[in-house]
């Protein structure tokens, strides 16, 4: 108990969140120290330590909450000491730990990668502080126990990501993309606040457990439909569901590559996580099944077609992220615990695959100094290790058997067939096939012969090492997926079937 919570001055926080928030607050001081003393790598080391510690403390929390029967208990932490229905609270179940663990893991890998990638940039203190706070925001969203806490961490994540997208402000691209992202996301934030107000007007509380107790299963009234649409707009912009996706293909390519990996790998998935959590808490699956299924088809089809037309490698990967969000929505639309298991499995697998694709593409862009696929002709042969890992990531994204992308897509589409949405499963399989077209195009161009004698070096060893670790995870989880499926099953059943435990933890 002592190890898992930090209790001081009446503020209770779970250890992962405490590590990230305090790490972010101390980070500027470390930056000043690094500049004064001249220990240039101190900031990078601090970021790596903080994200590593966050991952370890998530694991400790998991150990602490595991019961002897193999389940995961629910723990309620009252942040300000008052009991939940009155004050803000954090409610940690299997799903929270699963998401927070994914955030910390990819954050750790990206932190190691950034050491070399960002060394030519200035203002690194701000960079690492913002990344830490973005991770803290996502961890807080995963653990939030009431809507208001979720909103605060949502804005923490949002604010850090706006500034990180516009981080390379000397060029026009990041600034334009950042402003677009900010205006769209802030509008969505206003709709989220409006949906909070509507929930408050209906139920008189914002606590998730109490809302699930009172609103779930209520008769479908026009107000409930208004609430549903404001929720979809509020969460949908951050998670880039198609009519609301237009900021993503600008923002993700223009950010520095480690940030692209974080944004595509986990930030949009955190938006999807929040949407899944809130929809399953407030509505019966029958209410949101069809609208989400339609959004899912629209998202994957449009994104795959647009990705075919791209000539910029990072922009292509950004469109591919939107398509993957479409696949994840399939599991959400199925309305069963099995489908939600597929969604969360794909969230982790996609964070590995897309994170690695962006990191390898970042290495290519870093060394070849271009983002145009056409001018990367033949670069693959000069950077064999980087392109090998990029190929593994692309095959995984396309869903080739032997990679973890195949496993999670299999479960997603199987869930669609199992819940009277066969047309959705068929659309998903067709879209997967379509997406291979642009992944294979990248491979073909990178391996094509080159005449003009351009010399490109292999990326630094640390950057290659990170991508190799992720490639190993993709292959291992593709061949032996049992451990991650086990975790994802616990996470999804905590949300869909174990809801009474979630409610009981607060209401007693």
Partner 1 sequence: MLPLSPFLVSVALMLVIGLGCLMIKRDMVRLLIGVEILFNAANLCFIAFSTQNIGFVDPFAHSVVMMAIVLDGTVIAVGLAMVLNVYKHYKTLDIRKLRRLRW
Which residues touch 146 (CB under 8 Å, ≥6 apart)?
84, 88, 89, 91, 206, 207, 208
Phi and psi at residue 11, to the nearest 5°: -105, 120
Cα–Cα distance, 48 to 68 (Å, whole number): 33
Pick from 14, 140, 145, 178 the residue near partner 1 by CB under 8 A: 178
The verdict on 367 binding partner 1 (CB under 8 A) reads no
Q: Give the relative orientation of helices 384-398 and 337-368 as an angle to the nearest 10 degrees.
A: 150
- In this structure, how many other beta carbons lie within 10 angstroms of the beta carbon of residue 13? 21
The interface region with partner 1, picked from 123-131, 170-178, 446-454, 468-476 by CB under 8 A, is: 170-178
The verdict on 158 binding partner 1 (CB under 8 A) reads yes
Q: How far is the CB of 173 from partner 1 (least distance, A)?
A: 7
Pick from 127, 162, 283, 344 the residue near partner 1 by CB under 8 A: 162
Q: How many chain residues touch partner 1 (CB under 8 A)? A: 43
Cα–Cα distance, 482 to 480 (Å, whole number): 6
The verdict on 225 binding partner 1 (CB under 8 A) reads no
The verdict on 176 binding partner 1 (CB under 8 A) reads yes
CB burial of residue 401 (10 Å; 0-12, 13-18, 19+): exposed
Query: Which is closer to partner 1, CB of 159 or CB of 436?
Result: 159
Helix segments in 335-383, DSSP class H: 337-368, 379-382
Q: How far is the CB of 182 from partner 1 (least distance, A)?
A: 5
Cα–Cα distance, 115 to 6 (Å, whole number): 30
The 230-249 site mask, x for binding partner 1 (CB under 8 A), equals -------------------x
Query: Which is closer to partner 1, CB of 89 or CB of 95?
Result: 89
Cα–Cα distance, 498 to 241 (Å, whole number): 28
Cα–Cα distance, 288 to 241 (Å, whole number): 15
Query: Which is closer to partner 1, CB of 107 or CB of 178?
Result: 178
The verdict on 78 binding partner 1 (CB under 8 A) reads no
Which residues touch 330 (CB under 8 Å, ≥6 apart)?
293, 296, 339, 342, 343, 412, 413, 415, 416, 421, 424, 425, 428
Positions 6 through 35 that interact with partner 1 (CB under 8 A):
none
Q: How far is the CB of 369 from partner 1 (least distance, A)?
A: 20
Q: Give me the residue label for tokens 């699963």.
A: 98
Query: Which is closer to partner 1, CB of 180 or CB of 216?
Result: 180
Token couple for 317: 């990967």
The verdict on 155 binding partner 1 (CB under 8 A) reads yes
Query: Which is closer to partner 1, CB of 206 or CB of 272?
Result: 206
Q: How far is the CB of 252 from partner 1 (least distance, A)?
A: 12
The interface region with partner 1, picked from 200-208, 324-332, 343-351, 458-466 by CB under 8 A, is: 200-208
The verdict on 401 binding partner 1 (CB under 8 A) reads no
The verdict on 179 binding partner 1 (CB under 8 A) reads yes
- Beta carbons of 71 and 134 less than 8 angstroms apart: no
Return the SS3 of 458.
coil
Positions 82 through 111 that interact with partner 1 (CB under 8 A):
86
The verdict on 187 binding partner 1 (CB under 8 A) reads yes
CB burial of residue 120 (10 Å; 0-12, 13-18, 19+): exposed
- Beta carbons of 364 and 260 less than 8 angstroms apart: no
Positions 292 through 351 that interact with partner 1 (CB under 8 A):
306, 309-310, 315
Return the SS3 of 136.
helix
Query: Which is closer to partner 1, CB of 340 or CB of 442?
Result: 442
CB burial of residue 471 (10 Å; 0-12, 13-18, 19+): buried
Q: How far is the CB of 33 from partner 1 (least distance, A)?
A: 26
The verdict on 197 binding partner 1 (CB under 8 A) reads yes
The verdict on 183 binding partner 1 (CB under 8 A) reads yes
Q: How far is the CB of 183 from partner 1 (least distance, A)?
A: 6
- Beta carbons of 406 and 478 less than 8 angstroms apart: yes
Pick from 33, 49, 56, 186 the residue near partner 1 by CB under 8 A: 186
Q: Which residues bind partner 1 (CB under 8 A)?
A: 86, 148, 151-152, 155, 158-159, 162-163, 166, 169, 172-173, 175-180, 182-183, 186-187, 189-191, 193-194, 196-198, 200-201, 204-206, 249-250, 254, 306, 309-310, 315
């Amino acid at each position: 108990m002592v190890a898992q919570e930090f209790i001081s001055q009446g503020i209770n926080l779970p250890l992962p969140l405490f590590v990230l928030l305090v790490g972010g607050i101390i980070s500027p001081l470390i930056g000043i120290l690094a500049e004064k003393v001249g220990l240039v790598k101190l900031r990078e080391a601090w970021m790596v330590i903080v994200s590593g510690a966050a991952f370890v403390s998530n694991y400790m929390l998991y150990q602490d909450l595991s019961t002897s029967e193999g389940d995961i208990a629910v723990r309620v932490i009252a942040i300000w000491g008052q009991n939940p229905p009155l004050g803000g609270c954090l409610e940690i179940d299997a799903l929270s730990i699963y998401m927070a663990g994914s955030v910390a893991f990819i954050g750790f890998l990206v932190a190691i990668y950034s050491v070399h990638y960002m060394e030519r940039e200035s203002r690194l203190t701000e960079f690492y502080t913002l990344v830490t706070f973005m991770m803290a925001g996502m961890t807080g969203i995963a653990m939030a126990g009431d809507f208001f806490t979720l909103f605060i961490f949502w804005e923490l994540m949002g604010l850090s990501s706006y500034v990180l997208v516009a981080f390379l402000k000397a060029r026009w691209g990041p600034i334009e993309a950042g402003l677009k992202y900010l205006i769209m996301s802030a509008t969505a934030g206003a709709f989220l606040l409006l949906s909070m107000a509507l929930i408050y007007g209906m139920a008189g509380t914002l606590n998730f457990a109490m809302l699930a107790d009172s609103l779930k299963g209520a008769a479908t009234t026009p107000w409930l439909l208004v609430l549903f649409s404001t929720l979809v707009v509020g969460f949908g912009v951050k998670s880039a569901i198609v009519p609301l996706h237009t900021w993503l293909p600008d923002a993700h390519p223009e950010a520095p590559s480690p940030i692209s990996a974080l944004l595509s790998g986990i930030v949009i998935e955190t938006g999807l996580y929040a949407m899944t959590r809130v929809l399953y808490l407030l509505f019966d699956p029958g209410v949101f099944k069809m609208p989400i299924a339609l959004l899912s088809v629209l998202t994957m089809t449009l994104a795959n077609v647009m990705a075919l037309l791209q000539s910029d490698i990072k922009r292509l990967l950004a469109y591919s992220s939107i398509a993957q969000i479409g696949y994840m929505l399939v599991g959400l639309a199925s309305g069963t615990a099995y489908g939600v298991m597929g969604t969360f499995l794909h969230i982790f697998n996609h964070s590995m695959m897309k994170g690695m694709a962006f990191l390898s593409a970042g290495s290519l862009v870093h060394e070849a100094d271009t983002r145009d696929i056409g001018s990367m002709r033949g670069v693959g042969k000069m950077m064999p290790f980087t392109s090998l890992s990029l190929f593994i990531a692309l095959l995984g994204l396309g869903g080739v058997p032997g990679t973890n992308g195949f496993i999670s897509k299999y479960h997603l589409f199987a869930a669609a067939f199992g819940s009277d949405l066969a047309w959705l499963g068929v659309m998903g399989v067709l879209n997967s096939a379509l997406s291979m077209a642009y992944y294979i195009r990248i491979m073909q161009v990178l391996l094509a012969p080159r005449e003009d004698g351009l010399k490109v070096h292999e990326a630094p060893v640390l950057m290659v090492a990170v991508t190799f670790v992720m490639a190993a995870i993709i292959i291992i989880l593709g061949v032996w997926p049992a451990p991650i499926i086990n975790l994802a099953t616990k996470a999804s059943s905590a949300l869909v079937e174990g809801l009474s435990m979630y409610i009981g933890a607060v209401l007693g």
